[in-house]
Amino acid sequence: MRILWSPWRYQYVKSAIGGSNECLFCKIKDQNDEDAYIVYRGEFNFVVLNAFPYNSGHLMIAPYRHVDSLEKLDDRELLEMVHLINDSIRALRKALNPDGFNIGVNIGRSAGAGVPGHVHVHVVPRWTGDSNFMPVIADTKVLPVALSEVYKLLKENWPRKY
């Protein structure tokens, strides 16, 4: 059995569950788009860059409404979320040209949700060879593109302009 270990994520998880009882996504949704790295705002959901990404371009799609699981979203929220997953893939392909994607939802703390009270979808671009020894040996994740640059590229390449 192989185990995926990502020690660089601890800072994010610690900040999400410690220090403040305020939900990370509820806090972000009220901030300035550029300061919070919000790439797109839909009617029911928003797309934001992960400030502690697995890879450059790691996006999260979260509903404005604070719910803890997908089945609690209404049909309009859920449909828009799926459209935004596709839009995220399109924008990431144009902006960063990844070889593939990981898309996932962690529902509940036991499933690995860093923000267990507010459901969200992760869209993580992947490149052949993007995993190496640095996170395991040096406790360091190498991200070749700055968040501010990725934000700019995704805003420029976002496919939907409602």
pTM: 0.80
Residues 59 and 49 sit within 8 Å (Cβ to Cβ):
yes
2-35 pLDDT per residue, tens:
555 555 555 555 554 455 578 999 999 999 999 9
Query: Known catalytic residue: 66?
Result: no
- H helix or E strand, kind and range, residue 77: helix 75-96
Q: First CA to last CA across the chain, in angstroms?
A: 45
- Select which of 58, 118, 120, 122 is catalytic: 120
Outline where DSSP puts E strands in 9-154. 38-41, 45-49, 59-63, 100-104, 121-126
57-96 pLDDT per residue, tens:
999 999 999 999 999 999 999 999 999 999 999 999 999 9
| Domains (range + CATH), the chain | 23-157 (3.30.428.10)
